[in-house]
Amino acid sequence: MDAKRRELEELEKKRKELLKEIKAQEQQHYRTLIEFFGDDFPRNENKRPISLKQFKEEYMLVKKKQYGNFKTPNDERRLETYEKMLGVLRSAADNIDYSQGFPKLPNLPEFTKWVEKFKTKN
If asked whether residues 36 and 82 sit together in one domain, one would say no
Q: Which pLDDT score is estimated for 35?
A: 84
In a domain, 71, yes or no: no
If asked whether residues 9 and 45 sit together in one domain, one would say yes
Q: Write out the residue range of the structural domain in which residue 87 sits.
A: 77-116
Name residue 35's amino acid.
E
Q: Which pLDDT score is estimated for 102?
A: 83
If asked whether residues 53 and 7 sit together in one domain, one would say yes
In a domain, 53, yes or no: yes
Q: Which pLDDT score is estimated for 104?
A: 82
In a domain, 63, yes or no: no
Q: Which pLDDT score is estimated for 108?
A: 79
Q: Which pLDDT score is estimated for 71?
A: 59
Q: How many CA atoms lie within 13 A of 61 on its CB side?
A: 10
If asked whether residues 37 and 83 sit together in one domain, one would say no
In a domain, 66, yes or no: no
Tell me the CA distances in angstroms from 32 to 50, 67, 85, 98, 103, one per residue in order.
14, 22, 33, 47, 46
> In the chain, how many domains are there?
2
Q: Where are the alpha helices (DSSP H) in the chain?
A: 2-37, 52-58, 76-94, 108-116
How would you class 82 by CB atoms within 10 Å of its CB: exposed for 0-12, middle for 13-18, buried for 19 or more?
A: middle
- Residues of the chain with pLDDT below 70 are 60-74
In a domain, 110, yes or no: yes
